[in-house]
Amino acid sequence: MEEKHFGSVWFIPGENNGKYPYCHSVYIEGAGVLIDPASDRERLRQLRENPGVKTVWLSHWHEDHFMHLDLFDDLPLCISERDAPPLSDLEVFMDSYGINNDSRDYWRPIFTEQFHFRPRKPAAFLQGGEIIHLSAVTVEVISTPGHTPGQIALFFKQPEVLFIGDYDLTKFGPWYGDVDSSIEETITSVERLRNIPAKVWITSHETGVFEEEPGEIWDQYLDVINEREEKLMNLLEEPHTLEDIVGSWIVYGRPREPKVFFEFGERALMKKHLEKLMNQGIVRMKDRQYYRL
């Protein structure tokens, strides 16, 4: 995957096509702003030296977006206020994912060693609706909650480039499994983004750059939510416990390794669907078993 420049907005591809645990980064030339430093460690080192990095912005708090933030510990960090708390402390970080005490000993070294987690306090907050005038580009900060409560997108007005972050239009579909994530807000945010009149769309993972309007890909991305829910509803024609549901692998299709990682993801997303369906009065729980009405 190649680095691409759209005026002063640079697309910095991540390792392995930006698949987790990596992401693509964005760099704003002139202003020296680096967004989501988890792409390619050596390339990020080079950017720091030439043309230089002055500040780091995070689209949200997830580890696959700050993995190489340790290279910039001495520089100001900006993120939305709602997504700042997980960065303050590793235990708060794991609370925000809903990681239970039994599995924290598994996750703690991963976050500290692989992702270089260090407590950070932002120098400033990025706010939805804010217009930031940089030396070579004007940036509109767009609030796009759902994936995380404070995720932001960025619209670079002069080159008409829209950075949509982890609403990444991949075949896997959206992630909304954190404690404060929301299926409904995810849908609203994606619909908001697709209506912004951009000419280039930059995502955090996989394809990375769309230089033509994604068109049906927006619909296919959101359809994954409906497909997951339909499979869950079919399963709940008979009562099932949460562990039964996790073991059906609706999200990932089959058991995968490491089991702790993928079971966590499966459970987190299915719990969100169950909460949604119960709030709608479509599903109930009795004796720890869920069933459809």
Question: pLDDT tens for residues 203-224?
Answer: 999 999 999 999 999 999 999 9
The candidate with the shortest Cα–Cα distance to 26, out of 144, 140, 161, is 161
Per-residue pLDDT tens digits for 36-75: 999 999 999 999 999 999 999 999 999 999 999 999 999 9
- pLDDT at position 198 is 98
pLDDT (mean) for 153-172: 97
Pairwise CA distance, residues 232 & 143, whole Å: 30
Pairwise CA distance, residues 113 & 116, whole Å: 5
Confidence band for 18, pLDDT divided at 50, 70 and 90: very high
- pLDDT at position 83 is 98
The candidate with the shortest Cα–Cα distance to 80, out of 124, 110, 49, is 124
Prediction pTM value: 0.96
> Where, residue-wise, is CATH 3.60.15.10 in the chain?
4-218
Pick the CATH number of 4-218 from 3.40.50.800, 3.40.50.150, 3.90.45.10, 3.60.15.10: 3.60.15.10
Confidence band for 154, pLDDT divided at 50, 70 and 90: very high
**Which residues in 257-272 are b (16+ Cβ under 10 Å) and which e?**
eeeeebbbebbbbbbb
> What share of the chain has pLDDT > 90, as a percent?
99
For residue 136, pLDDT beyond 90: no
How high does pLDDT run on average in the chain? 98
Angle 119-125-127 (CA atoms, 0-180°, nearest 5)?
A: 140
Per-residue pLDDT tens digits for 223-276: 999 999 999 999 999 999 999 999 999 999 999 999 999 999 999 999 999 999
For residue 7, pLDDT beyond 90: yes
- pLDDT at position 186 is 98
Per-residue pLDDT tens digits for 166-196: 999 999 999 999 999 999 999 999 999 999 9
Q: What are phi and psi of 6, to 5 degrees?
A: -120, 85
Confidence band for 94, pLDDT divided at 50, 70 and 90: very high
